[in-house]
């Protein structure tokens, strides 16, 4: 079993800020409908992953004024676990987004990201199918980038601590 290295309070604060920014970028890309974000994180030497789920509801017409609904406790749990994965280099995991289809009876759409070495990397359709693999009909799609850069300042201005609305 590997021994995890201590993480500085500064690094933890940076990872926490990045976790909330990642969730904001993810929520900003959602179409109207029902969504579930799931995250599993395993530390080096740990047998069973820690997991979190974040149910989201988006109401609107697909524009920037859409309302994102989430329960605060689920947002906080997801952000905390994501912070741990982004702060600890000896952790790895999978974040995936499951979105319901707007067409009745159609398969849901799944996008996935691989967490390793403090970074979320976008998965292709094939990688997502291999990582997530579901027993029911699902359509996999390429993931989009969730990490921002210095030019990504507008996200922090519009993202509240919880989501846009609380259920």
User: Is residue 113 one of the residues assigned to a domain?
Assistant: yes
Residue 134: the pLDDT is 67
CA 143/CA 131 separation, integer angstroms: 13
pLDDT of 62: 77
**What's the confidence (pLDDT) of residue 51?**
95
Nearest 5°: phi and psi at 30? -80, 140
122 lies in some domain: yes
- Structural Rg of the chain based on CA atoms: 16
Q: Is residue 3 part of a domain?
A: no
| 87 belongs to a structural domain | yes
Residue 118 lies in a domain: yes
Answer yes or no: is 1 within a domain.
no
Reading the block at residue 108, the tokens are 């849901």
Domain residues for the domain of 88 are: 9-166
In this prediction, residue 147 carries a pLDDT of 78
Assigned domain for 121 exists: yes
Nearest to 12 by CA among 93, 84, 71: 84
Number of structural domains (the chain) is: 1
Spatial separation of the C-alpha atoms in residues 90 and 96, rounded to whole Å: 20
Residue 72 and residue 62: Cα distance in Å, rounded?
A: 23
Per-residue pLDDT tens, the chain, 167 aa: give them: 556 778 899 999 999 999 999 999 999 889 899 999 999 999 877 889 999 999 999 998 877 788 889 999 999 999 999 999 999 988 899 999 999 866 566 678 999 999 998 899 999 999 998 888 766 678 899 999 887 754 444 444 333 334 444 44
- What is the pLDDT at residue 153? 46
In a domain, 2, yes or no: no
């Amino acid at each position: 079993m590997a021994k995890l290295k201590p993480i500085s309070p500064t690094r933890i604060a940076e990872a926490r800020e990045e976790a909330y920014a990642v969730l904001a970028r993810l929520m900003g890309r959602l179409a109207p409908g029902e969504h579930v974000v799931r995250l599993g994180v395993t530390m080096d030497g740990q047998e069973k992953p820690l997991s979190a789920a974040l149910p989201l509801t988006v109401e609107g017409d697909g524009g920037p004024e859409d309302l994102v609904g989430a329960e605060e406790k689920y947002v906080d749990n997801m952000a905390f676990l994501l912070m741990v994965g982004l702060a600890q280099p000896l952790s790895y995991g999978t974040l995936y987004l499951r979105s319901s289809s707007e067409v009745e009876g159609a398969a849901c759409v799944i996008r996935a990201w691989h967490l390793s070495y403090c970074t979320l990397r976008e998965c292709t359709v094939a990688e997502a199918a291999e990582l997530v693999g579901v027993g029911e009909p699902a359509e996999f799609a390429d993931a989009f980038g969730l990490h921002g850069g210095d030019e990504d300042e507008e996200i922090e201005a519009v993202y509240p601590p919880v989501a846009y609305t609380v259920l």
